[in-house]
């Protein structure tokens, strides 16, 4: 028994494993803060400018704690739900965002909408910190693991020969490309907006995940294939070509990053041993992808001017104009603009602080904007398709939210689940809602990744169900989106399984 405890870090003492890195990190932070304030000639003047520093340190410690803990017990997985949420959004948007805001690298116009910023902006960080703590607690509660064990009994035990997955992967990819083209024509994709919602737009928006399924399946096949044939090189070339092509068409500042993340996930879950060289390489690639995406996306938006829909020819012409601008403009100007846009894009603390400062006084007006009780209303109406209920109201309308809170409806400002829960249920709603989300994340990870029955189809399903949780958008859309995503996954993976099994029988 004693020998078993020595080889199990969880039995050896979770308390010690958590306490040591936290104390060390806190000591460094306190020392750095003291030296920083000393250099700034005293605490009094520094407080007026750097009042966010202690709250930023507190939020940073809490947000980084799960990553440090999982690394310490040797269970660090970049796509673990808590680690993924930390590094993809919460740490950059709120912790680094706080630093960016403090240093004045981001100065949005809506800071004037925040009454008493020295109270409301730190309060915003407190809500984020408490919400993340609650999500972490929800994850580590035994509830999610218990439900996962029950659900596991009913999940299919498909065993695919990954070498037989080229055909189904290509079919999923082609279907995804087809629906993406249709979505682009309908105005659902790209830097454009839909003026009037069609009855099938909701269905089409969720069929777009077929492209992600096909991409992950093919990358899994590539990373798992030992014997490289012609199909290997053809598919590899097509998938690499998709990266810049998709970025160019979407005109999004994050599209290149979003396209590379599935590649990293497929590598991680392909069975290959993840060495530090791989981690460093992916880190560099992701960093470069972020900066390239910011530069291209910002330039494209500036040249196009607005989200007004244009015909396909004119839209493609905007792509050409953007590439021409980037190739002829002074590189230093392009880099400066990109750095400024990156800082503004990362920092989302100020936009959430607008909600924190104003949600109570704007509550009486939310009904006229269709935002009142949007979490409950979205959940109740999500099961009725729009083609059945043609007049179904859009209860979580990002444009209406932007118009009410930011007095500007031409942009979709980040609200985050923290802000949406606060608007709907008040301060108590933030920890309770995030606790529920943490339980879901544990259920997801235990069923599909940390499972006694690993399978390729589970790894494919994991990515859409993980990324459907947006930490930038409404909390109201999370669980309805999960249900719709599950429906698409069930149908598509059933078809993939039939194709693979029929091919196996015919051999």
Q: What is the pLDDT of residue 438?
A: 97
Mean pLDDT of 326-354: 87
Q: What is the pLDDT of residue 403?
A: 92
Q: Could you give the CA distance from residue 53 to residue 446 in angstroms, rounded to a whole number?
A: 37
Mean pLDDT of 317-331: 85
pLDDT greater than 60 at residue 26: no
Q: What is the pLDDT of residue 27?
A: 53
pLDDT greater than 70 at residue 328: yes
Q: Could you give the CA distance from residue 381 to residue 388 in angstroms, rounded to a whole number?
A: 11
Contacts of 290 (CB under 8 A, 6+ apart): 254, 256, 257, 342
pLDDT greater than 70 at residue 188: no
Are 429 and 130 in contact by the 8 Å Cβ rule? The answer is: no
For 226-280, the pLDDT digits (tens) are: 888 888 899 999 999 988 888 887 777 777 888 888 998 998 898 776 666 667 7
Q: The dihedral of CA 404, 408, 411, 415: what is its sign?
A: negative
Mean pLDDT of 204-233: 84
* Chain CA centroid to CA 100, Å: 20
- Which residue would you say has higher pLDDT here, 136 or 390? 136
Q: What is the pLDDT of residue 211?
A: 85
pLDDT greater than 70 at residue 43: no
Q: Work out the pLDDT band at 489, boundaries 50, 70, 90.
A: very high
Q: What is the DSSP letter of 88?
A: I
Mean pLDDT of 476-492: 90
Are 142 and 439 in contact by the 8 Å Cβ rule? The answer is: no
For 58-97, the pLDDT digits (tens) are: 999 999 999 999 989 988 898 999 999 999 999 999 999 9
pLDDT greater than 80 at residue 315: no
Q: What is the pLDDT of residue 48?
A: 57
**Between the CA of residue 4 and those of 69, 99, 188, 468, what are the distances in Å?**
20, 44, 55, 39
pLDDT greater than 60 at residue 3: no
Q: Could you give the CA distance from residue 9 to residue 16 in angstroms, rounded to a whole number?
A: 10
Please give the model's pTM, rounded to 2 decimal places.
0.84
Mean pLDDT of 432-460: 95
Structure-block tokens of residue 100: 């960016």
Q: What is the pLDDT of residue 8?
A: 39
* Strands, E assignment, 248-404: none
Mean pLDDT score of the chain: 82
Q: Could you give the CA distance from residue 126 to residue 56 in angstroms, rounded to a whole number?
A: 9
Q: What is the pLDDT of residue 187?
A: 62
- Which residue would you say has higher pLDDT here, 210 or 427? 427
Other C-beta atoms closer than 10 Å to the C-beta of 93 total 23
Q: What is the pLDDT of residue 476?
A: 92
Q: Which helix (H) or strand (E) is 419 found in, with range?
A: helix 416-425
Burial readout 416-430 (b: 16 or more C-beta within 10 A, e: otherwise): bbbbbbbbbbeeebb
Q: What is the pLDDT of residue 276?
A: 67
Q: The dihedral of CA 206, 131, 85, 398: what is its sign?
A: positive
pLDDT greater than 90 at residue 22: no
Q: What is the pLDDT of residue 302?
A: 81
Q: Could you give the CA distance from residue 263 to residue 200 in angstroms, rounded to a whole number?
A: 30
Are 318 and 365 in contact by the 8 Å Cβ rule? The answer is: no
Q: What is the pLDDT of residue 505?
A: 53
Contacts of 307 (CB under 8 A, 6+ apart): 191, 192, 193, 410
For 156-178, the pLDDT digits (tens) are: 988 888 878 899 999 998 888 88
Express as a percent the part of the chain with pLDDT over 90. Answer: 41
pLDDT greater than 80 at residue 201: no
Q: In degrees rounded to 5, what are phi and psi of residue 54? A: -65, -35
Tracing tokens 């490289």 back to the chain, one arrives at: 228
Q: Could you give the CA distance from residue 398 to residue 290 in angstroms, rounded to a whole number?
A: 24
């Amino acid at each position: 028994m004693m020998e078993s405890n020595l080889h199990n870090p969880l039995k050896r003492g979770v308390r010690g494993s958590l306490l040591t890195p936290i104390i060390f990190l806190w000591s460094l932070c306190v020392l750095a803060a003291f030296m920083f304030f000393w250099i700034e000639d005293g605490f009094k003047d520094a407080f007026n400018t750097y009042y966010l520093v202690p709250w930023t340190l507190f939020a940073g410690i809490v947000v980084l704690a799960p990553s440090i803990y999982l690394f310490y017990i040797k269970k660090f997985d970049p796509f673990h739900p808590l680690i993924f949420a930390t590094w993809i959004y919460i740490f950059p948007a709120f912790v680094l965002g706080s630093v960016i805001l403090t240093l004045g690298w981001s100065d949005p116009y809506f800071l004037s909408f925040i009454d008493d910023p020295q109270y409301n902006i730190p309060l915003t960080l407190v809500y984020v910190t408490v919400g993340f703590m609650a999500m972490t607690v929800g994850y580590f509660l035994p509830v999610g693991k218990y439900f996962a064990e029950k659900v596991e009994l009913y999940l299919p035990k498909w065993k695919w020969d990954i070498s037989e997955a080229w055909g189904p992967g290509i079919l999923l990819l082609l279907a995804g490309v087809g629906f993406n083209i249709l979505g682009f024509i309908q105005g659902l994709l790209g830097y454009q907006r839909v003026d009037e919602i069609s009855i099938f737009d909701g269905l089409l928006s969720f069929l777009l995940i077929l492209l992600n399924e096909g991409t992950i399946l093919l990358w899994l096949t590539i990373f798992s294939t030992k014997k490289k044939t012609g199909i290997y090189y053809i598919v590899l070339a097509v998938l690499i070509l998709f990266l810049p092509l998709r970025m160019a068409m979407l005109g999004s500042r994050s599209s290149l990053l979003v396209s590379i993340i599935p590649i990293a996930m497929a590598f991680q879950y392909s069975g290959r041993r993840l060495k530090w060289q791989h981690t460093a390489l992916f880190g560099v690639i992701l960093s470069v992808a972020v900066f390239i995406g910011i530069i291209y996306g910002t330039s494209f938006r500036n040249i196009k001017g607005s989200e007004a829909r244009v015909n396909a020819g004119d839209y493609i012409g905007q792509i050409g104009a953007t590439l021409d601008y980037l190739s002829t403009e002074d590189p230093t100007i392009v880099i400066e603009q990109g750095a400024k846009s990156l800082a503004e894009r990362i920092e989302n603390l100020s936009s959430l602080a607008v909600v924190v400062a104003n949600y109570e006084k704007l509550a009486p007006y939310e009904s006229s904007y269709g935002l009142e009780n949007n979490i409950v209303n979205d959940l109740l109406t999500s099961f009725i398709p729009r083609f059945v209920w043609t007049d179904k109201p859009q209860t979580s309308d990002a444009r209406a939210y932007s118009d009410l809170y930011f007095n500007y409806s031409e942009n979709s400002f980040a609200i985050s689940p923290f802000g949406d829960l606060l608007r709907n249920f008040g301060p108590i709603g933030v920890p309770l809602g995030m606790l529920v989300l943490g339980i879901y994340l544990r259920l997801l990870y235990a069923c599909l990744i940390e499972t006694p029955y690993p399978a390729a189809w589970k790894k494919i399903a994991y990515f859409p169900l993980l990324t459907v949780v947006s930490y930038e958008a409404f909390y109201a859309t999370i669980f309805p989106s999960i249900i719709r995503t599950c429906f698409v996954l069930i149908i598509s993976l059933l078809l993939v399984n039939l194709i693979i099994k029929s091919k196996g029988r015919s051999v």
